[in-house]
A and B are shown apart, each in its own frame.
Chain A
């Protein structure tokens, strides 16, 4: 079983829709849970960062963590064309060491 599973399939949504992304993980040593956004030919940009189960909101973004099910989600409300990017889930498990999902390419159609 892979440490991190993220369905890499591209996702196309109309502008204004809710985007829902998720990852599952198997390593109980994962301490912190993050979501990064990566535009083409750029480095990953940190979107959300949390360490506990539950929801965390930041503007149009909501990160959800369920440690008991080893499942994390990212929701983007009122999606905009500028949200078109690849979204990566990431897990910190000691000394700036991150395990990443393969990433979801999201396309928001105007």
Chain B
């Protein structure tokens, strides 16, 4: 059974640019969550999607957005990048949001 796939694995962007990250969940899983991981703050919840609808949102500015497609694949977008957005971005796949969650390998974003 294939795991959660995130692309790309690494990204380097310049301040002010925007970026789109992709997540393909485990087959059959309909819930996808996104997290930001930094050394100082640890893992912080960004948002969760289920059946193409955002059900939950964490405390991040509106520059962070996401969407989910009918095949459950999800993308997150960060606009007007800031140096502080440098982090490991992780997505987690769950059957319906109320069972165990499985993470992808993450996308390491560096903003210069």
Q: Which residues of A does B touch, CB under 8 Å? A: 31-32, 34, 36, 41-46, 49, 88, 90, 92, 94-103
Give chain A residues whose Cβ lies under 8 Å from the Cβ of B100. Answer: 32, 34, 46, 49
Docked-complex contact A43 and B48, CB < 8 angstroms: no
Cβ contacts B42-61/A at 8 Å (1 or 0 each):
11010010100001101000
Docked-complex contact A92 and B101, CB < 8 angstroms: yes
Docked-complex contact B56 and A98, CB < 8 angstroms: no
**How far is A87 from B106 in the complex, measured between Cα atoms in Å?**
17
Docked-complex contact B101 and A43, CB < 8 angstroms: no
Give 15 new A-B contacts, CB below 8 A, not counting A44-B43, A102-B42. Answer: A34-B100, A36-B103, A42-B106, A43-B90, A43-B105, A46-B100, A49-B100, A94-B98, A95-B31, A95-B55, A95-B98, A96-B97, A96-B101, A98-B35, A98-B101
Residue in chain B with minimal CB distance to A31: B98
Cβ contacts B1-14/A at 8 Å (1 or 0 each):
00010100000000
Q: Which residues of B does A touch, CB under 8 Å? A: 4, 6, 31-33, 35, 42-43, 45, 48, 50, 55-56, 58, 90, 92, 94, 97-98, 100-106, 108
Docked-complex contact B45 and A97, CB < 8 angstroms: yes
**How far is A31 from B97 in the complex, measured between Cα atoms in Å?**
12
A21 to chain B, nearest CB (A): 15
B9 to chain A, nearest CB (A): 10
Question: Pick the contact of B103 from A31, A45, A99, A101 — CB < 8 Å?
Answer: A45
Give chain B residues whose Cβ lies under 8 Å from the Cβ of A45. Answer: 103
B13 to chain A, nearest CB (A): 19
**How far is A42 from B37 in the complex, measured between Cα atoms in Å?**
11
**How far is A94 from B45 in the complex, measured between Cα atoms in Å?**
12
Docked-complex contact B102 and A98, CB < 8 angstroms: no
Question: Pick the contact of B98 from A36, A92, A103 — CB < 8 Å?
Answer: A92
